[in-house]
Structure 1
């Protein structure tokens, strides 16, 4: 160990008359620690939210959706066949959507009814893995053997099931404002369905606002004939969605067909999350900057306290560069200790949330039942390097002031 390090570490050990400086040093270390820990936790939460939302969105939706500028697609089976022949496509599933109202006993709720072909929907989305009870194959009439009335099946979300108190096997009434045209004009359609499945994507918007029925039953119920709203497409590589989407538009002859990728459908949400992450990071980085100011004040007071020692070292032949190193090393020790403690604390808090899910959230507000968390070591490393850099920059001014000190002036009155 060279003597610059030895002197720097010696100055960090407080003597009796330097207790105040020691307290300021401790506060500087705590400031760096809190700033680093807060940055790690907040970036972990924001990264976890992005990954969780992305996973749930891709679970409830496909990578691509083929739509028509003519509102609905008429000869959809021919389009599905063309899509399934493309090498990049895993599965294509037609769907139909409409707003409806659900009634069960005295409970009422609004939802989006989604007509799907069970076989193709299971291939194009992850709904099959999200079932709590029942099965999507039960959507066809007669799934319940021995029932007095052969009713079509309906799959409802867990949160919707709880809000109307309807569970597996119950019969719910579904009312749609889109009905048949009669003498008095359009009249609402009403139909009874039996709950044959309850699903949970962990995404409140879907679990509380969507129900699934067979495509054939939805077309009859909504009086739409052989039409669908769109066709969901699952790809082998979701990151090629934009490229494959343009290829699909070309394959289908362009207008009126167009392809919407999962990023286009939910781009504003992911953009908002990135902006929030950046804003929180900047705000919390200010904590580290304040800790850097504490390091400056600590070293300035240390220079004032050690002016006699500096003069003696200079009179013994110490160069300005060596004097600067002493105080730079001292500030770096403060920064490195604070960064190490902060990184440990931040990682520990992230691990606690990932392992035990201590912090719970209201899903009606935050879309999550527990606080999402994702610990990326690249983020921890970047935050640690940033904190150490701020600590280093904070040492330059006090170190330069110490190096410029005139030994003759310092020892004149000694």
Structure 2
């Protein structure tokens, strides 16, 4: 029989324990752990949610990786065409983990109206374009169909629509320059069939989406020439590994670029949230641990006579320490339970009803505070908190070894 566990259970279940001097301090310790778990859950869920949301926005409009020609051009305009006659296109079967590949091309131009003008980039896409990534950001209208004849339907961002006072079904002219600035520019007429908003201003103010055949004609390219390929993969966590494999599977005259390299500043910014989250976790665990140490010390002092009697009856120091560690384990688990119930409940409410919003959506690229947390994060957080608090409680339990049985029995 595990008599240490039996004694710990009797202590926890006794009425004297619940109305003792240590009861308020124990409640404070439990509350500290619960609050710590709540704060840590919110910190991790919002940090991961924001990172995931920003990544999804950028990836939806660029893919996980791009394949293009080696050149020094850092602009958003395709200058040097890539032939579509590639072993990896239209199906990238040579590398496992590639979800989709699509051909795109870009051309800078100026939208012209009677009263305004705005520079933007026409991103040309074809029949292989996967609209499922972009449909989540469509706020009105529909996506065009470029699988048949060439037509002038385009998608523009809400940023451009608001600045130029456009709405669905409106038409406008777009002016494209030529290599020889003395030649008259190309003018194309487009019709708006949909308006999207990614919330990512760098994208919204830069791109509109149209038929890739317009870009090919403006650049005097053949139908088999495009600007670059966008590649989508199954697992973002394997981005660098997939970049290496895809680069090895493409010809030497083509280069690959990950989304993290293309939007380096943005991805470095969202990585800062990891450091903030780690800091919050460390602080909360330390605070919860200190409160539990205080509770255990008070509990030990309150049970000094019991410790003396157990020692007099032949119990070892470790056996008596186990009694109090069992007791502390119960308190930690109680705090973890209520912390998870309240914390996960708050996250669920935010996920379902989007009650909390950013005061400045443009600064964070999203309007609603996003939350995301997998089961593995929850399990690891609880295990890590439990282990850290338990190890911290090993320190005050050493006091039991210093208590003399004779003095402890006389202690009042």
Query: What range describes the TM-score normalised by the shorter chain of this pair?
Result: 0.7 to 0.9
Per-residue CA deviation, residues 203-252 of structure 1 (Å, 9 max, x unaligned), is 4443343112333434566xx43287732244675654431232112xxx
2:25 corresponds to: 24
Q: Please say if residues 140 and 214 of structure 1, whose CA atoms lie closer than 8 Å, have aligned partners that are also in contact.
A: no
Q: Secondary structure at the match of 1:120?
A: coil
Q: Higher helix share goes to which structure?
A: 1
Q: Distance in 2 between matches of 1:268 and 1:235?
A: 21
2:338 corresponds to: 341
Bigger Cα displacement from structure 2, 281-290 vs 339-348: 281-290
12 and 399 in structure 1: CA distance in 2 versus 1, 3 angstrom threshold: farther
Structure 1 counterpart of 2:250, from 248, 259, 262: 248
Q: Displacement of 1:49 after TM fit?
A: 2.5
1:360 corresponds to: 357
Q: Distance in 2 between matches of 1:62 and 1:94?
A: 11
260 and 278 in structure 1: CA distance in 2 versus 1, 3 angstrom threshold: same
1:410 corresponds to: 408
Q: Distance in 2 between matches of 1:291 and 1:413?
A: 30
Q: Distance in 2 between matches of 1:129 and 1:4?
A: 55
**Alignment length (residue pairs):** 390
Structure 1 counterpart of 2:367, from 362, 369, 372: 369
2:46 corresponds to: 45
Q: Please say if residues 34 and 335 of structure 2, whose CA atoms lie closer than 8 Å, have aligned partners that are also in contact.
A: yes
Q: Secondary structure at the match of 1:323?
A: helix
1:170 corresponds to: 170
Q: Please say if residues 73 and 229 of structure 1, whose CA atoms lie closer than 8 Å, have aligned partners that are also in contact.
A: no
Q: Distance in 1 between matches of 2:309 and 2:337?
A: 34
Q: Distance in 2 between matches of 1:357 and 1:108?
A: 36
1:149 corresponds to: none
164 and 283 in structure 1: CA distance in 2 versus 1, 3 angstrom threshold: same
Q: Displacement of 1:24 after TM fit?
A: 1.9
Q: Displacement of 1:3 after TM fit?
A: 2.0
Q: Please say if residues 307 and 320 of structure 2, whose CA atoms lie closer than 8 Å, have aligned partners that are also in contact.
A: yes
Structure 1 counterpart of 2:382, from 376, 380, 384: 384
Q: Distance in 2 between matches of 1:109 and 1:133?
A: 22
Correspondences of 1:260-409 after superposition (within 5 Å): 260-266=257-263, 269-270=266-267, 272-361=269-358, 362-409=360-407
Correspondences of 1:76-115 after superposition (within 5 Å): 76-77=82-83, 79=85, 83-84=89-90, 87-88=93-94, 91-98=101-108, 100-104=109-113, 106=115, 109-114=118-123
Q: Please say if residues 179 and 186 of structure 1, whose CA atoms lie closer than 8 Å, have aligned partners that are also in contact.
A: yes
105 and 81 in structure 1: CA distance in 2 versus 1, 3 angstrom threshold: farther
Q: Distance in 2 between matches of 1:35 and 1:394?
A: 15
CA RMSD of aligned residues (A): 3.5
Q: Distance in 1 between matches of 2:233 and 2:290?
A: 52
TM-score, normalising length: structure 1: 0.79
Q: Distance in 1 between matches of 2:391 and 2:246?
A: 49
2:6 corresponds to: 2
Q: Secondary structure at the match of 1:193?
A: strand
Q: Distance in 2 between matches of 1:412 and 1:197?
A: 85
Q: Please say if residues 242 and 261 of structure 1, whose CA atoms lie closer than 8 Å, have aligned partners that are also in contact.
A: no
Q: Secondary structure at the match of 1:2?
A: helix
- Name structure 1 gaps, 5 residues minimum: 144-151
Bigger Cα displacement from structure 2, 105-114 vs 32-41: 105-114
Q: Displacement of 1:189 after TM fit?
A: 6.4
Q: Distance in 1 between matches of 2:337 and 2:362?
A: 38
78 and 288 in structure 1: CA distance in 2 versus 1, 3 angstrom threshold: closer
Q: Displacement of 1:332 after TM fit?
A: 1.6
